[in-house]
Amino acid sequence: MMNMTHSKPSYLGQVRVLYFGMTGILSRVPLARLLAEGVRVVGIVLPMSALPPYLLEDDGRPCTNPAIPQSSQSDSSILLTSPPDILQLAAQYRIPVMAVRQINHPQFIQQVAQMNPDLILVSCFPYKFHGNLLDLPRYGCWNLHPSLLPHFRGPAPLFWTFWEGQNDTGVTLHLMDESLDTGNILKQATFHLADGVSGPTAEQQLAELGGQLILQALADLADDDLSFKLQSEDGSYYPLPKSGDFMLDTNWSARRAFNFMRGTAVWGQPYPVEIGEQEIWLDTAVSFQPNQRQNEPVVRDGRIVSIQFTPGVLTALSLI
């Protein structure tokens, strides 16, 4: 009988990968894809702030290899959530985890060097790399960024994609340098955000696409066919959003306001909008009519508020 089992490409297990991330979707999903395909991840690095309190000793040091379960534990005791979070993935695949406060500290650089990574992969990690760390792996450091660079550089690109009213976005895999999100581009893929998509759903979709880009780049690396293109100096950079960045503008279209509210609702912030001399605080976007015009700028029915934008009408729930 013919064996129909499909073996994974051998090159995926040849490159020693050190993975830097957080506990959220944009870090977990690409890592899960890489592990499922047989990529050899030799360690995971998280910022100290991302570790749950029960993994910290009294003096604030992380437990040694906190993600590695004891031999008496069964696999069923590891996967406590579905899908597993990044620490549970580490436990499932027996991958050591390091937590770091000062990423460019000589002691941490020495720890990384001892792990002898061929490649550092980064997805949603909050600390800036410098030369010693960037120069350590022979294939460099690759970063997965959920936008089409050079547009939307910075720590929260998806927020600003929604803020700008952009439905067309994508993912970029790029080489890291000492600036933020400015390195040479290895791979890019475009993606269309549906109207009303939530932030977590958009992150999931972009993270899955990012995992594919990493696998494609690893295949090119194995074939000695990995190339890059220079990133242009134009584009845009945005910082972390502040409370004032959640304000709506009635000069926006109703579609833009609706998609912004839906896409950024996970931040848990209210959405103020000024209409004449009154300020209304919105909580949840309900619907929008792209071309509708109403007789009054604001129509209320209890907490349900319909607001005229340019063009269209947004219907939302107010806070009061």
Does residue 1 lie within any of the structural domains?
no
Whole-number pLDDT of residue 131: 85
Whole-number pLDDT of residue 44: 96
The answer to whether residues 192 and 111 belong to one domain is yes
Does residue 259 lie within any of the structural domains?
yes
Confidence at 55, pLDDT banded by 50, 70, 90:
low
Q: What is the mean pLDDT of residues 169-180?
A: 96
Does residue 230 lie within any of the structural domains?
no
Domain extent, residue 56, equals 10-222
Whole-number pLDDT of residue 28: 96
Q: Write out the H or E segment, with its range, that includes residue 218.
A: helix 199-222
Q: Write the CATH number for 313.
A: 3.10.25.10
d(CA 16, CA 12): 9
145 contacts 156 by C-beta, under 8 angstroms: no
Number of structural domains in the chain: 2
- Domain stops at, among 158, 187, 222: 222
Confidence at 53, pLDDT banded by 50, 70, 90:
low
The answer to whether residues 146 and 205 belong to one domain is yes
Q: What is the mean pLDDT of residues 109-131?
A: 94
For residue 71, pLDDT beyond 70: no
The answer to whether residues 69 and 146 belong to one domain is yes
106 contacts 84 by C-beta, under 8 angstroms: no
Phi/psi for 192 (5° steps) reads -105, 125
The answer to whether residues 312 and 212 belong to one domain is no
Whole-number pLDDT of residue 81: 52
For residue 210, pLDDT beyond 50: yes
Whole-number pLDDT of residue 273: 98
Residue-by-residue DSSP string for 66-129: TTSPPTT--GGGT--SSS--HHHHHHHTT--EEEES-TT-HHHHHHHHHH--SEEEEES--SPP
For residue 174, pLDDT beyond 70: yes
Least confident of 48-57, 171-180, 275-284: 48-57
Whole-number pLDDT of residue 73: 33
pLDDT in tens, 229-276: 999 888 999 999 999 999 999 999 999 999 999 999 999 999 999 998
The answer to whether residues 211 and 247 belong to one domain is no
The answer to whether residues 131 and 88 belong to one domain is yes
**Which residue from 83, 97, 15, 99 is spatially nearest to 49, judged by alpha carbons?**
99
